[in-house]
Amino acid sequence: MTTATDSTTPVRVCTLEDLEVERGRAALLDGQQVALFLLSDGTVLAVDNLDPFSGANVISRGIVGSRGGVPTVASPLHKQIFDLRTGECIETHGKPPAALRVWPVAIDDGVVYVRMPESVGS
C-alpha cells in the first residue's frame, strides 16, 4: 500500500513487471482506489477504481478493449464503457452520463508513478 503526503509529488506505485498487458490492477493512494492498466503498446493509464454507476470499486476488474482506436474499459458489473484516456463514459446503457477521474501516470526506469489529480488533492 502506498500513501501520498503531497498531491504534487508522484507516488511510486509498482514496477511495469507488476502489471499484465490489458489486465487491470488496483492501488490505494491517500485512501483513493486507482485502477491501473498496461496497454499492449506499453502505455500505462490510471483512472478511479470506483464505478460511478454501481458505487463498487471494480473498474480494475473490467474488460479492456478499444473503440475506434480509443483504449477502453467496460465495467464488470453493468458493462458501461469508459475511455481510459479521458475517463468519459462512452456507452451508458441508458443511464445518465458519468465519468471516471483520470490519474496522471509517469514511468521512470521501469517504475510506475501516479500523481493525485488536482480535483482530489485540493
Report whether pLDDT(99) > 80.
yes
At 81, which CATH number?
2.102.10.10
Report whether pLDDT(2) > 60.
no
Give the chain's domain count: 1
Q: What is the pLDDT of residues 24-55, one digit of tens each?
A: 999 999 899 999 999 999 999 999 999 999 99
Q: Domain for residue 99, yes or no?
A: yes
- In sequence order, what are the beta bridge partners of 115? none
Q: Domain for residue 5, yes or no?
A: no
pLDDT for the residue numbered 92: 72
Q: Domain for residue 21, yes or no?
A: yes
Domain, as residue range, for 96: 17-115
